[in-house]
């Protein structure tokens, strides 16, 4: 992706200090989402980074990962699978507990969301400690899915999440801090 486009995207991400807890510098992506040109370029860039042209399923993580995951799935002609916070999915699920940069949580996926052997791309807005993405990758692998990569809009590389996630396949990020 052209460096000037990446610069435009980077300068549109808003830093919010001490949200949601003191000491966290929150990367607010909403100004990028609100700009139609930057949003389209971000989705293109996240797909381009993977080198993939087809995949069976794209998994997106509740809630900001739904935005990126669903748009990427539509572009790739793939199905979209939501990994949701505990208690939100209506049917039979499997779940995993995890820790993230500012807390702990549980995510779940429907038991029939991914068929054994299907190729799966994970998408989320941000990779920090890798706890959230790692939990989603565990769920995909427990279902028998073949992880072909993970793509993030932002990576906070100083938190080391890539190490946790790269054991499950190639990791790509559009904007790195
Ligand atoms: O790499 P980690 O340390 O796990 O952090 C990254 C996760 O943190 C945020 O999720 P959050 O649970 O705040 O969900 P939201 O999208 O509902 O705001 C973000 O959307 C990632 O999913
Ligand atoms: N610093 C941060 N900004 C935005 N989302 C996050 N998720 C985890 N850490 C985050």
Instruction: Please say whether the beta carbons of 22 and 102 come within 8 A.
Output: no
Nearest bound ligand to the CA of residue 67: 1
Residue 165 lies in a domain: yes
Nearest bound ligand to the CA of residue 61: 1
Rounded CA-CA distance 60/3 in Å is 27
Confidence of residue 75 (pLDDT cuts 50, 70, 90): very high
Residue 145 lies in a domain: yes
Rounded CA-CA distance 17/22 in Å is 8
Residue 165 sits in a domain whose CATH number is 3.40.50.2020
Structural domains counted in the chain: 1
134 in ligand 1 pocket by Cβ < 6 Å? no
String of b and e for 61-100 (b: at least 16 CB within 10 Å)? bbebbbbbbbbbbeebebebbbbbeeeebeeebebbebeb
Residue 56 lies in a domain: yes
Please tell me which residue in 84, 101, 108, 164 is annotated as part of the active site.
101
Strand partners, 96: 107
Is the predicted ipTM greater than 0.85, yes or no? yes
Residue 146 lies in a domain: yes
Write down the pLDDT at residue 134: 98
Residue 117 lies in a domain: yes
HSE, CB side, 13 Å, CA atoms: give it for residue 135: 25
Mean pLDDT value of segment 84-112:
97
Residue 162 lies in a domain: yes
Rounded CA-CA distance 39/35 in Å is 6
64 labelled catalytic: yes
Write down the pLDDT at residue 22: 98
125 in ligand 1 pocket by Cβ < 6 Å? yes
Confidence of residue 159 (pLDDT cuts 50, 70, 90): very high
CA of 148 from ligand 1 middle (Å) equals 21
Residue 11 lies in a domain: no
Write down the pLDDT at residue 116: 98
Contact residues of ligand 2, CB 6 A cut-off: 24-27, 100-101, 126, 128, 156
Write down the pLDDT at residue 164: 96
Rounded CA-CA distance 37/125 in Å is 17
- Ligand 2, atom 10: nearest CA belongs to which residue? 26
Residue 98 lies in domain:
52-176
Residue 167 lies in a domain: yes
Write down the pLDDT at residue 63: 98
Write down the pLDDT at residue 49: 98
124 in ligand 1 pocket by Cβ < 6 Å? yes
Top mutation candidate among 20, 66, 100 for ligand 1, by most atoms within 8 Å of CB = 100
């Amino acid at each position: 992706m052209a460096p000037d486009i990446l610069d435009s995207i980077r300068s549109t991400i808003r830093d919010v200090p001490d949200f949601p807890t003191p000491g966290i510098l929150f990367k607010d992506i909403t100004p990028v989402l609100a700009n139609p040109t930057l949003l389209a370029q971000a989705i293109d860039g996240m797909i381009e980074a993977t080198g993939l042209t087809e995949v069976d399923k794209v998994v997106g993580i509740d809630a900001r990962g739904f935005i990126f995951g669903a748009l990427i799935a539509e572009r790739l002609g793939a199905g979209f699978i939501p990994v949701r916070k505990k208690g939100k999915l209506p049917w039979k699920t499997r779940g995993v507990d995890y820790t993230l940069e500012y807390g702990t949580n549980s995510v779940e996926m429907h038991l029939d969301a991914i068929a054994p052997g299907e190729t799966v791309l994970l998408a989320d807005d941000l990779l920090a400690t890798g706890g959230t993405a790692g939990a989603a990758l565990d769920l995909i692998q427990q279902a028998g899915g073949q992880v072909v990569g993970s793509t993030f809009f932002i990576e906070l590389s100083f938190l080391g999440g890539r190490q946790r996630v790269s054991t499950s396949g190639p990791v790509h990020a559009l904007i790195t801090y």
